[in-house]
Amino acid sequence: MDGSTVPLADTEELREKYGCASNQTKYTAPTSRICVLYDALNHITIKGMLHPYFISEEKVSISCLENHADENTLLLFDLLLLHSRKKFQYPNADDTPP
């Protein structure tokens, strides 16, 4: 699983729905947070989701996992999610990593 941001077309509708990111020049652009759940063994995307920019990567990840994580699932997270796992609710609290 990986999360990132993606720039969107600059329309008022997308600005309202997804929000905007800004940079040091104060330029703002519609931006979405994206999460992709990928089957590395079979090389297929299982699920991809766009969320508003202001929603945290942790919340996006939880949303992406709904109905897809079970006891036979191995999940690989980036370092940010591992460091914030105290706030992260794993699908089965008894299976949290050490």
Asked if residues 7 and 29 have their Cβ atoms less than 8 Å apart, the reply is yes
- 3 state SS of 29: strand
Confidence of residue 98 (pLDDT cuts 50, 70, 90): very low
- Give the tens place of pLDDT for each residue, 68-92: 766 677 777 665 555 455 555 555 5
The DSSP output letter for 68 is T
Average pLDDT value over all residues in the chain: 77
Q: What percent of the chain has pLDDT over 70?
A: 71
Confidence of residue 95 (pLDDT cuts 50, 70, 90): low
- Closest by CA to 18, choosing from 28, 1, 33, is 33
Kindly report the pTM of this predicted structure.
0.63
Burial of residue 3 (number of CB atoms within 10 Å: 0-12, 13-18, 19+): buried
- Give the tens place of pLDDT for each residue, 1-21: 667 889 999 999 999 999 998
